[in-house]
Amino acid sequence: MAGMSSSSSVLIADDDRAIRESLERALELEGYEVLTASDGVETLATVHQRSVDLLVLDVMMPGVDGLGVCQVLRAEGDRTPILMLTARVETSDRVAGLDAGADDYLPKPFELDELLARLRALLRRSTPPAEGATEQLLHVGDLRIDTAARRVWRGGREVELSKTEFDLLELLVRNAGIVLDHPTIYDRIWGYDFGPESKNLAVYISYLRRKLEPEGTPPLIQTVRGVGYTVRPQ
């Protein structure tokens, strides 16, 4: 296990006891310290008592659901990476999770390997890069990114992005003018290629467009059919 996650703690919040216990066993085998909660109220109480490195939240929980937990934590300024488990596969369900402030989502049923890859990616991206490791201010047209502060502006307007959205945009902007194919993007952002059937990347691209390209602004992110995506200066 190389001790990568030996000191990382994760809280699993799911009202399905079987899922909770199987995930707890699997993550402990991977070297994580695991806490569990069966509903949103218990989740918030646990997080308020002690900090964790990652949260895995089921959307559908009694009382305060996963979306509610996410909204409360983000409103409190808590930036702990959150992976949302969604039972439904409709895009609206995923978008609701991202709107609430989740950093990534995973539809049920899921493969354990995929969940582990998502958690590793969130942990990796929540570790700030070494000082001066890369250029910190990026510009494409009227888009400006401060990679150190993880802030984004389009024109004079600041745009709020989750970790995953920010990392996807930064990857595209650092490669402005170059078409990045799906496997490359999956590998760089998630460290795992979800395969040609996955709609995961398309959901994040559409979400970025919604936030960065409001009505009347020139498009930033171009789709190259059958290949991938690119950011081209207008």
User: pLDDT tens for residues 146-191?
Assistant: 988 889 999 889 999 988 999 999 999 999 989 999 999 988 888 8
Q: What is the pLDDT of residue 181?
A: 93
CB 143 within 8 A of CB 173: yes
Q: What is the pLDDT of residue 199?
A: 80
Q: What angle do CA 202, 165, 32 make, to 5 degrees?
A: 105
pLDDT one-digit tens code per residue, 73-132: 999 989 899 999 987 666 666 667 778 889 998 888 888 998 999 999 898 877 665 555
Q: How far apart are CA 166 and CA 159, in angstroms?
A: 10
CB 99 within 8 A of CB 210: no
Q: How far apart are CA 155 and CA 167, in angstroms?
A: 20
DSSP class of residue 158 equals E
Residue 1 pLDDT exceeds 50: no
Residue 5 pLDDT exceeds 60: no
Q: How far apart are CA 102 and CA 70, in angstroms?
A: 7
Q: What angle do CA 64, 52, 208 make, to 5 degrees?
A: 70
For all residues of the chain together, what is the average pLDDT?
87
Q: How far apart are CA 48 and CA 40, in angstroms?
A: 12
Per-residue pLDDT band for 144 (boundaries 50, 70, 90) equals very high
Q: What is the pLDDT of residue 2?
A: 39
Q: How far apart are CA 121 and CA 115, in angstroms?
A: 10
